[in-house]
Structure 1
């Protein structure tokens, strides 16, 4: 092992150890997050702005607009590693042209022809300063710490000779929970890195998609949309590995309602969907709800978990909107984001899902059953079975664990499965053994 490789392994080990032992009080999280918003950071760099002569609407999706190379940073400390960052053209949820950034890390020791692991982060935040590119370029604080910690998750693939692609999947406005946008930004990032000589990828390199939780949203939607939106990328996708999957947003609103740890994602989702679809969902909120939505407009998942125990939908909306189904625009939006409703992946899938949600303070839903605390297991099984019926080879694993603890079991299985897709072995399938799940029918508006 050369010195550079050894230094990288040591740095990543320290990062992982620190992430596993740090305990941060909720008050400190809130204070740190507020300070991070007020201070200038990597996102203020003009690199993130497009000022070209050609109107963005006339620039093809995936076009490289700017490229730079930065030291790979963890909490502001540079590792012996560099990242190529690319500003590229993509689109937002409602189809308008937008710019976005992806970060590419080349393998320390390249082995053979280029192979790409597209790692989709679970940074889950309403604050653009928390996105991976900003964290990698020197960002610090609680929000960027998620993207920093994830370095240890994909490090084995980097050391094995794979190029790592990490897009800012929520876009530059941090459109949290806007699932399809995650897919578009991911696909266009893969178009962009194929065009940029500095990445060393080229246009023929095979691609494997992987992500957990928020990263699973981006990975699944990229796989699902690829055939129709980016057939040039679809041809290169060899497999998609996801875990902790957000299948049916309407169901999840009910599942986390009143939970101890995950109830805070409810207002976060309302803010993100309002922002991305240009719809004012705050008009349905009562005074308490409006104050909460205002307070959380730049919240990270790190400041939302466990800080709103028992929060319910009914407690933050006006009486006439006592259920999500009574808010017409929310029903319309949620139904657009049901996975597998309109599109189908073209490559094999590995799907893992926990069922031990009670460990994180979420009781099984009377109609939907159990889940991992935030994601509904019956929905995930239904998605897997749907894809099986459409001819996709699906390997499905279910764990009696919570959302957080299931990730530790899922990750090594997912990586092992994904590495196998770059070879000649046939993808294993459990399509004949997946138990029935929930109906994935769209929500019905109840006015």
Structure 2
């Protein structure tokens, strides 16, 4: 079998399994019996157990590595994947350990790679893409990480090596944007410091992510110049869609929605977890019950489970305005992209704006419409802000007839084509000067509880 045939076969198997053309198989995770129940044994690869403290390592240093077959829905394929446990930095600036996966293209030569940020959106570490690739099967959240093989496959066929970080870290700190960014940048560092990956300091990288993956993509692009300047020099650009900009706006936008209001309790849990704050004391009995239900859930568990539920339903009466909670205000301001730096590399940003298709009908004053969960006016302002602060290579597209889920299959091939052009050295197109005005991205201000 020649090199091209082998590559096509490997990729076809990956794609075929996802779309259901390959035969089914049963995954075989390591299991232990405890009394009358059987539980999956924790994978020791994810635990740093070295003698030196993590602080003794530099961000991006490799702590462990292993090579395994790339799995899709628990089925091994001929593709090989290299997984790395590496040192990174959490949302509070503390040393932490995380896992990334490197998939080599059989067409590639190590000169170009895409860092693909998954939209696995979960409060459970078990739903991370590295675990799905290793063959673990989780019933709900893991479906997303497995299905994303449909995006990885064409990248491999084009000759890109693909790096796939567990962007939320090992605590699944959902929506903690800065941590998503450092996890992504240190993932690239780790991938280029390990001989087995074939990647190196001269490898050019593109950042690619949608929805939850766009959080990591944008934060990586804005943090790179200061946090990882050597990685920033390797970047050709970032492509993202369905972007979370100002989380406080999003929570008001989805308030009372039929489906996407489930991100309200998810965000509360994720922000509380990542910044070590307790928001549960502000919640009503209903709010506490919903948070407990979702504590280790994924986006699949959250969507449409409480149609019409509002923040007021979840909060005690005296906290019906979330801005009356100082800890909430401080946290959402830390993860507002409008307050972060401007990327220095070209960017492609796509954003849907037909949220009514997914059951979000509200138009809050100063916020307006969006794709069902992400606020279009926030994204426009961010793109305009980048243009105004020195980055004239920003391409912005708004899809007024597409919702969040619907925009993804339209955006993805356009984003890939845009990245292809950046790797080819073509001049990046710009929308600067033609992007309509959006919303204010000023920090949230605390209010006084009546």
TM range (shorter): over 0.9
Structure 1 residue 390, shift from structure 2 partner: 1.3
Structure 1 stretch 420-429 or stretch 164-173: which is displaced more? 420-429
Q: Tell whether the 8 Å contact from 1:253 to 1:324 is kept in structure 2 after alignment.
A: no
- The match for 2:444 is 443
1:179 counterpart (157, 177, 180): 177
Matched, 1:223 2:221: yes
- Can you list the C-alpha shifts for 1:386-438, whole angstroms capped at 9, x where unaligned? 00011211000010210000001100110000111112210000112100000
Structure 1 stretch 10-19 or stretch 403-412: which is displaced more? 10-19
The alignment partner of 2:167 has SS state of: coil
- The match for 1:84 is 82
Structure 1 runs of 4+ with >3 Å offset:
38-42
Q: Distance in 2 between matches of 1:108 and 1:376?
A: 39
- The match for 2:423 is 422
- The match for 1:277 is 275
- The match for 2:34 is none
Matched, 1:374 2:376: no
| TM-score normalized by the length of structure 1 | 0.93
Q: Distance in 1 between matches of 2:103 and 2:117?
A: 13
Q: Distance in 2 between matches of 1:156 and 1:221?
A: 25
Q: Tell whether the 8 Å contact from 1:213 to 1:245 is kept in structure 2 after alignment.
A: yes
Q: Distance in 1 between matches of 2:167 and 2:438?
A: 28
- The match for 1:395 is 395
Q: Tell whether the 8 Å contact from 2:8 to 2:157 is kept in structure 1 after alignment.
A: no
Q: Tell whether the 8 Å contact from 1:216 to 1:243 is kept in structure 2 after alignment.
A: yes
Q: Tell whether the 8 Å contact from 2:181 to 2:219 is kept in structure 1 after alignment.
A: yes
The alignment partner of 2:80 has SS state of: strand
- The match for 2:33 is none
Unmatched 5+ stretches in structure 2: 22-36
Q: Distance in 2 between matches of 1:352 and 1:40?
A: 42
Relative to 1, partners in 2 of residues 1:166 and 1:113: Cα closer, same or farther, differing over 3 Å?
A: closer
Number of matched residues?
427
Q: Distance in 1 between matches of 2:379 and 2:303?
A: 22
Matched, 1:236 2:234: yes
Q: Distance in 1 between matches of 2:15 and 2:69?
A: 18
Cα RMSD for the two superposed structures: 1.4
Matched, 1:135 2:105: no
- The match for 2:122 is 125
Structure 1 stretch 389-398 or stretch 375-384: which is displaced more? 389-398
The alignment partner of 1:142 has SS state of: coil
Q: Tell whether the 8 Å contact from 2:98 to 2:170 is kept in structure 1 after alignment.
A: yes
Q: Distance in 2 between matches of 1:364 and 1:216?
A: 23
Q: Distance in 2 between matches of 1:149 and 1:386?
A: 34
Structure 1 residue 142, shift from structure 2 partner: 2.1
Q: Tell whether the 8 Å contact from 2:349 to 2:397 is kept in structure 1 after alignment.
A: yes
